[in-house]
Structure 1
Amino acid sequence: MEDFAPLIRQEMKQFAELYFKDEKLLYYANLFMERKFTEPMKFGPLTVLHYRLFGGTSPEAAYHAGASIELFILASDILDDLQDQDAPHQPWSQAPLPIALHLATVFMTLSQQALTECGLEAEIVLPVIDMMNKQLLIAANGQMADLGNLATDEASYLSIVQHKSAALLVLACMTGVMLTGREWHAGVAEYAEQLGIAAQIENDRRDLLRWDEKNDFLQRKKTLLTLYLLEDLGERDQWVADYYACRINETEALGMQEEFEQLCERSGTMLYGSAMFSLYFNRFQELLGNIPETAGKIQEIMAIVSGKIANSGIPQ
């Protein structure tokens, strides 16, 4: 399968060089983009692939759109890390806060500009921009609920994910579809949403056992897994509830890593997370196979989703 990421990266850098005339602005833009390029690229490639699958024929439109999506994802990642304050090693966390916020803002603006310069007619591009803005507003509501740590049960957690990370995957796929001149495709939106939920559950599984600033337990975040864990704690495990209620501090909790890992296994929390991931991921695959344009391209989409293409030659 063709790797779309190199050309998307090239477009992102070219747009930055074209519009960022201030030397310091361009320096930080390149610094932040290069850090982002070390991670698997999925959103932009999904946009390019969907554009092709649904009949798009303009390479310029495809890669401008892919760059547009990735520029927004970078801006979103910067803001998310600054808001959560859980990624101190990222260059935007180490840069002066006013500069990091400024770069997030200009990346968002550059994202919109990249799409307007895709070379397609206004009657095609304008509905796509309208769709993008509506999805971003949905994601903004989800992000606000996430910042408030408002999940109380499985249903409320899934609603937050649906309105946050899943909305961005719908945005990426639908941009490719609608740039071919088509209208909103409910089937694509549905499988993209299922994929977004599955991906977030997998992230939660990963972040539950890593014992650093990204650990959801240490951050007292309410995720599908931590809510499950808190549901039925035995007497010897009440320290977990005490930590969430701020009756014990982080220093005390840091010394309980082994006990916490044992609890996650003993309680079935990790098994539950695995089962829930499989539920949504299998649903994504099923829906994917029901759409004529994507049914025969499952392996190509799965390669992007799994990072097999994006990981090639990129240090992690």
Structure 2
Amino acid sequence: MDSHQKIIDCASGLIKSSFIQEELRLWALGYINFKLSDSTNFSKITGIHYDIFRGESNEEEKISILTIAELILLASDIMDDLQDDDAGENPWADVSLGQNLNIVVGILIICLKHIDDIDTSPIVKDWLRETIHRNTLQSINGQYIDLSNNITLESEYISMVSLKSGSLIKVACLLGAGRIDDETLQKIETYSNHLGIIAQIRNDVHDLVKGSFKSDIMFKKKTLPILYYLNRNNPKFLPIQDYYLGDQLYSDMTYKETTIFHETLIYGGGVEYCKVLEQLYIHKFKECINNLDLSSFHKDLLINMKI
């Protein structure tokens, strides 16, 4: 059995033993099958760090840690969709807010409880809990800033994304690496943060280019490309600036106005700006990894991690 299926089985087992209410249990199991059957890139990051930085490999411990990482991401994704009112076709879109909150809180408690079952020292267990506590709380603070939608500058965006996305990537990397020397852990935290920024920039660009951004426009969400237009003195961007900084509703625009609006968003330079910034953080990410005392093989594994 491959590790992918082992993670699904471990996560499903934790849900079955923890949620005694049948409907709640079935919803949570459905979420796991939906999310983990699609991709486990998050836990693959954890697995890469486990294989590189831990002196000895314990398969049962490894699967437990990879499962915890995936469940934390699942809880975060559900909460993010609920707060953005953007669940789309995800299965939690068909479940009430109250019950989804029960599932999210339950999953996070399950993750912390499962640490007790891992065959490792009490010191390491405490370190794992503290790592999860610290970084999930940072991510929640970043999500608060994102929801507040009060950022106006690129620097504020980077700070918000570092908390919201960078902290989650830190969870994946640090849980895998384990309790190693402080200097190496600091470097892992630094490049994890860069990777979180890269992931969010790519997500912003993807939503803009693929047309998945209508709800973001309606709620006037200030993503990175939008901030580009809001901070440029260009007459072509005035309709965008007036809309995002004023009281105009998206529904008040005519078809012609929305067409020009969308074309300007996509072709006005915001996408190119995001790609340049992405390349800057890719350079920082690679530079940090190349400064680690690792073999070229292990450095390549880290540099080529998928997010």
1:254 to 1:104, Cα distance in 2 relative to 1, 3 A: farther
The 3-state SS of whatever aligns with 1:185 is helix
Q: What SS does structure 1 have at the residue aligned with 2:135?
A: helix
User: Does the 8 Å CA contact 2:207/2:213 hold for their aligned counterparts?
Assistant: no
1-structure distance, mates of 2:228, 2:261 = 14
Equivalent in the alignment of 2:10: 11
> What is the 5 A alignment of 1:135-150?
135-150=135-150
Would the aligned equivalents of 1:205 and 1:270 in 2 still touch at CA under 8 Å?
A: yes
- Aligned to 2:127, the other structure's residue is in SS state helix
- SS of residue paired to 1:164: helix
- 1:41 is aligned to 40
Partner Cα separation in structure 2 for residue 207 and residue 239 of structure 1: 20
Once residues 37 and 43 of structure 2 are traced to their aligned partners in structure 1, the CA distance between those partners, rounded to angstroms, is 15
Shift of 1:287: 1.4
| Whole-Å separation in 2 of the counterparts to 1:215 and 1:277 | 24
Amino acid at match of 1:263: T
Change (3 A) 1:78 1:259: same
Distance 1:221 1:296 in 2: 41
Change (3 A) 1:92 1:245: same
Instruction: Compute the displacement of 1:264 (Å).
Output: 3.1
- What is the DSSP-based 3-state SS (H/G/I as helix, E as strand, rest coil) of the residue aligned with 1:220? coil
Q: Distance in 2 between matches of 1:249 and 1:294?
A: 55
Distance in 1 (alpha carbons) for counterparts of 2:254 and 2:102 = 34
Give 1:303 shift.
4.9
Q: Secondary structure at the match of 2:216?
A: coil
1:89 aligns with 2:60: no
- Counterpart secondary structure, 2:70: helix
Show CA shifts across 1:187-235 (max 9, x none): 1111111111111111111122343466533331112211111223644
Return the alpha-carbon distance in structure 2 between the equivalents of residues 117 and 193 of structure 1.
29
CA distance in 2, matches of 1:116, 1:162: 29
User: Normalising to structure 2: TM-score of the pair?
Assistant: 0.90
- Secondary structure of the 1:301 match is helix
- Measured after TM superposition, the shift of residue 84 of structure 1 is 0.9
Give the secondary structure class of the aligned counterpart of 1:292. coil
Residues 66, 294 of structure 1: alpha-carbon distance in 2 compared, 3 angstrom cutoff: farther
**How far off its partner does 1:64 sit?**
0.5
How much has 1:242 moved relative to structure 2?
2.7
Conserved 8 A contact 2:50-2:177: yes
SS at match of 2:120: coil
> Which residue number in structure 2 is paired with residue 111 of structure 1?
111
Secondary structure at the counterpart of residue 149 of structure 2 = coil
Q: Does 1:250 align with 2:250?
A: yes
Deviation at residue 95 of structure 1 after TM alignment: 0.6
Q: Which residue number corresponds to residue 312 of structure 1?
A: none
Shift of residue 110, structure 1, vs aligned partner: 1.1
For the 8 Å contact 2:218–2:249, the answer to whether it is kept is no
- Distance in 1 between the 2:231 and 2:306 partners? 32
Q: What is aligned with 2:178?
A: 178
Q: Contact 1:209 / 1:261 at 8 angstroms: preserved in 2? A: no
Q: Percent identity?
A: 27
Kept in 1, the 8 Å contact 2:230–2:237? The answer is no
Distance 1:43 1:137, change over 3 A: same
Q: Which runs of 5+ in 1 are unaligned?
A: 307-316
Q: Deviations over 1:102-124 (max 9, x none)?
A: 11110111111222212111121
Q: Structure 2 unaligned runs (5+)?
A: none
Amino acid of the structure 2 residue aligned with 1:94: D
Q: State the match for 2:283 in structure 1.
A: 282
**Partner Cα distance (1:286, 1:238) in 2:** 39
Cross-structure match for 1:193: 193
Matching of residues 55-70 of structure 1 within 5 Å: 55-70=55-70
- Correspondence list, 1:264-279, <5 A: 264-279=265-280
Relative to 1, partners in 2 of residues 1:88 and 1:36: Cα closer, same or farther, differing over 3 Å?
same
Q: 1 CA distance for matches of 2:266 and 2:101?
A: 40
TM (norm. structure 1) is: 0.87
Give the number of aligned pairs: 304
CA change 1:119–1:267 in 2 (3 A) is: same
Q: What's the secondary structure of 1:204's corresponding residue?
A: helix
Question: Secondary structure of the equivalent of 1:37?
Answer: helix
Matches within 5 A, 1:207-222: 207-212=207-212, 216-222=216-222
CA RMSD of aligned residues (A): 2.4
Distance in 2 between residues matched to 1:254 and 1:166, nearest whole Å: 39
